[in-house]
Amino acid sequence: MPKVIVDRDRCCGAGLCAQALPQVFDQGEDAVVVLLEENPPAELVAPLADVAFACPSGAIRVVEQ
């Protein structure tokens, strides 16, 4: 199962993550990423990798566990 790690200090609030995978990410009041699902289902591995790649501030990491 993938594990998602977000770095809220690095996030620049572009919101690409919440747009692409609303079941995993949201944006808080201050636009900073909020992780809704730390352990998303395995079928999201590929889309998660895409989102981590698209994040303009390198604030998302996905690790396999």
Asked if 27 touches another protein (CB under 8 A), the answer is: yes
Residues of span 43-62 touching ligand SF4 by CB under 6 A: 55-57, 59-60
Nearest CA to 16 among 44, 57, 63?
57
Q: How far apart are CA 56 and CA 6, in angstroms?
A: 13
Residue whose C-alpha is closest to residue 3's, from 29, 35, 31, 50: 35
61 near another protein, rule: CB under 8 A? no
23 interacts with another protein by CB under 8 A: no
Q: Which of 7, 23, 50, 61 binds another protein (CB under 8 A)?
A: 50
